């Protein structure tokens, strides 16, 4: 008969101690992992959090999607833990590597969140060149353009929103430099000293303004603009105001003759203020009209001028070159020049005292 194996007391005590140690060491990590999983962390992330001895700090805070996504990454830097917990996760290439570089350059969490949510992947190398203290003040302007960033910083005028707006308009450059030309007609098109028309451009449905609403010479506008002007003309007349279309659509040859005439009469400085080069005149669009009053040779002195200022937006027209916007339009004040943009846009411009350049840069230039 075999004898039962009996362990000596010291050995039994040793085994019991080992068992207790194993139970304790296994129980508490498992319990911590289970709690983290219940806190919305994945199982693998929970294991990593416990192994990094971050359990107590993590469980005491709200769930962090960023931590959940990056804690297993080889580039996870425990020294950046506090920053990570306040950085919003973005599912984009090299997220953690980019965050680490930005933190190393001393960008704060707010800046990093703005950067990650706004800029394209190709913009990061510029941010890695140097620490840009006011980066968020640029990025949070809704019409910020990455391509213009260096120009913004060079032109900066003390106001971030106006700097971005004016650079987007092109005001940091000389007139007629780096211009863009278009073949396409639209009611919202912009033509000025930075945006012109090509030789292929044409206005569809040019429509003659009726004799009732025009001077003796024929005047043409695009169909939609012509109809709107005639409605405005007749409504004005019914209220005791007489307005006429004095100059509307001009082709390239006509604008060249206009340029040459005024150049010979008054010289280049006058033309730079009041006349645009062929290809850059808003009259090419068939959307502009110089308005004449039946009662005064000087439109600004007429009651029709005041009526147009107060009412033209109701018909889709804006006063295109007001005195208060000369620094933006590049054209000296023209009381007579109105532009059709449609009722919705004209109303917004009227209510917010904007030039068309400002409106275009803010809402249309994508």
Q: Which residues are catalytic?
A: 334
Question: Do 298 and 238 touch, CB atoms closer than 8 A?
Answer: no
Q: CB-based contacts of 253: which residues, under 8 Å, 6+ apart?
A: none
Question: Do 131 and 105 touch, CB atoms closer than 8 A?
Answer: yes
d(CA 249, CA 263): 20
Minimal CA–CA distance to 303: which of 243, 362, 250, 345? 243
d(CA 198, CA 183): 6
Task: Please give the C-alpha separations between residue 342 and each of 68, 210, 348, in angstroms, as whole numbers.
Answer: 51, 20, 10
Q: At what angle do helices 223-238 and 303-311 cross, to 10 degrees?
A: 120
Question: Do 336 and 291 touch, CB atoms closer than 8 A?
Answer: yes
Q: What is the DSSP letter of 88?
A: P
Sign of CA dihedral 308, 311, 317, 320: positive
Could you tell me if residue 94 is left (phi over 0), alpha (psi between -120 and 50 degrees) or otherwise beta? left
């Amino acid at each position: 008969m075999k004898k039962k194996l009996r362990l000596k007391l010291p050995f039994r005590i040793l085994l019991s101690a080992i068992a207790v140690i194993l139970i304790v060491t296994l129980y508490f990590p498992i319990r911590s992992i289970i709690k983290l999983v219940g806190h919305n962390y994945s199982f693998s992330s929970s294991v990593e959090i416990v192994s990094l001895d971050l359990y107590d700090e993590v469980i005491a805070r709200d769930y962090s999607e960023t931590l959940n996504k990056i804690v297993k990454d080889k580039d996870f830097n425990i020294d950046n833990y506090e920053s990570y917990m306040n950085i919003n996760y973005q599912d984009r290439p090299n997220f953690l590597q980019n965050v680490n570089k930005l933190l190393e350059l001393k960008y704060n969490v707010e800046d990093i969140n703005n950067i990650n949510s706004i800029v394209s992947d190709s913009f990061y190398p510029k941010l890695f060149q140097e620490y840009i203290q006011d980066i968020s003040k640029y990025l949070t302007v809704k019409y910020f353009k990455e391509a213009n960033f260096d120009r913004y910083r060079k032109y900066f005028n003390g106001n971030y929103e106006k700097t971005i707006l004016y650079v987007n308009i092109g005001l940091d450059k000389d007139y007629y430099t780096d211009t863009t030309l278009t073949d396409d007609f639209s009611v919202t098109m912009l033509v000025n000293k930075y945006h012109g028309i090509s030789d292929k451009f044409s206005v569809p449905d040019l429509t003659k303004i009726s004799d009732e609403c025009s001077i003796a010479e024929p005047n043409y506008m695009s169909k939609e603009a012509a109809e709107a002007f005639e409605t405005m003309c007749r409504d004005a007349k019914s209220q005791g105001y007489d307005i006429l279309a004095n100059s509307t659509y001009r082709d390239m040859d006509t604008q060249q003759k206009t340029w040459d005439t005024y150049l010979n009469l008054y010289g280049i400085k006058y033309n730079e203020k009041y006349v645009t080069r062929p290809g850059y005149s808003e009259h090419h669009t068939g959307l502009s009209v110089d308005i004449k009053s039946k009662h005064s040779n000087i439109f600004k002195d007429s009651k029709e001028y005041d009526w147009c200022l107060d009412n033209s937006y109701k018909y889709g027209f804006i006063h295109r070159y007001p005195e208060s916007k000369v620094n933006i339009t590049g054209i000296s004040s023209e009381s007579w020049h109105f532009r059709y943009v449609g009722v919705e846009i004209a109303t917004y411009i009227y209510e917010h005292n904007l030039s068309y350049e400002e409106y275009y840069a803010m809402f249309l230039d994508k």
